[in-house]
Amino acid sequence: MNVRKGLIIGVGTGFQILLQLGLVPNGEIGCLNEGSPVLAANSVGRHVSTISQTKVVSVLSPWFSMCEVGEVHSVAVSAGKGRFIVDTALFDTLAANGQIAAQFVDFSGNASMDVKFNPCNSAFAVEAVTSIDGRILGKVGHTERYAKGLFKNVPGNYEQRIFEAGVKYYK
C-alpha cells in the first residue's frame, strides 16, 4: 500500500508559526536558535497591502508541482510581519537544497530588495520556503486571495495553482 505523508501550508501568520515551530525549514518540530529564520515586522514600519510579482525558483514542493521554474505570478501581500530574515549561510543552504520556492521580483523577473517589489523587505527577496522534503510550505503572499475576475484592473498571472497541486498530490 502506498501511503503518502501529509501536506502543510502556512500563509502569512501561518508561515510565521511554521518557522517558530521549526517545521520550515527543518521539516520537524524543534528548538530555535539565534540563526533560525524568522518573520519580522516590515521594514517600512507598517502593514502593507499590495499585489506583488513572485517568481517560482524551485518546484521541489508538491505544492509547486503544477508550476515551472521561472514562472512569475501576481500574489496579494497583506502583512505587518512579512519580512523573512535569514543569514547568508542558511539562505545559501536552503537555496542549494531547493527549499527557496519563490522570490519577490521586479518587472524584469529579477529578485529585488526594492520595497516597490518586495513590500516587506524580505532577505534575499524570499517569498516562500519549504521543508527539506517540500511537503511543508510557508509563504508570505496570499495565493488563496484570488478568484477569476477579482483583479480586473490589475494585470498579471494570478493562477499559481498551488491548491490544485495539493489536491493532485493525493490522487
Model pTM above 0.75: yes
Please check whether residue 3 lies inside any domain of the structure.
no
CATH number, position 52: 3.40.50.880
How does residue 1 score in pLDDT terms, banded at 50, 70 and 90? very low
Res. 3: pLDDT tops 70: no
Q: 3-state DSSP call for residue 54?
A: strand
Q: How many whole angstroms separate alpha carbon 94 and alpha carbon 27?
A: 12
Q: What's the average model confidence in pLDDT over 72-101?
A: 97
Q: What's the average model confidence in pLDDT over 83-112?
A: 98
CB atoms within 10 A of CB 140: 29
Q: 3-state DSSP call for residue 158?
A: coil
Please check whether residue 106 lies inside any domain of the structure.
yes
Higher pLDDT, 5 or 106: 106
Please check whether residue 2 lies inside any domain of the structure.
no
Please check whether residue 84 lies inside any domain of the structure.
yes
pLDDT, tens only, 15-61: 999 999 999 999 999 888 889 999 999 999 999 999 999 999 999 99
- Residue 4: its pLDDT value, please? 61
Range of the domain at 101: 8-146+156-169
Q: How many whole angstroms separate alpha carbon 113 and alpha carbon 122?
A: 7
Dihedral sign, Cα of residue 90, residue 82, residue 111, residue 43: negative
pLDDT, tens only, 96-107: 999 999 999 999
- Residue 134: its pLDDT value, please? 97
Please check whether residue 105 lies inside any domain of the structure.
yes
Please check whether residue 151 lies inside any domain of the structure.
no
Question: H/E/C letters for each residue in 84-146?
Answer: EECCHHHHHHHHHCCCEEEEEECCCCCECCCCCCCCCCCHHHEEEEECCCCCEEEECCECCCC
Q: How many whole angstroms separate alpha carbon 55 and alpha carbon 104?
A: 6
Please check whether residue 165 lies inside any domain of the structure.
yes
Average per-residue pLDDT for the chain: 94
Res. 92: pLDDT tops 80: yes
Res. 2: pLDDT tops 70: no
Amino acid at 71: E
> Into how many domains does the chain fold?
1
Q: 3-state DSSP call for residue 154?
A: coil
- Residue 138: its pLDDT value, please? 98
How does residue 151 score in pLDDT terms, banded at 50, 70 and 90? confident
Higher pLDDT, 63 or 31: 63
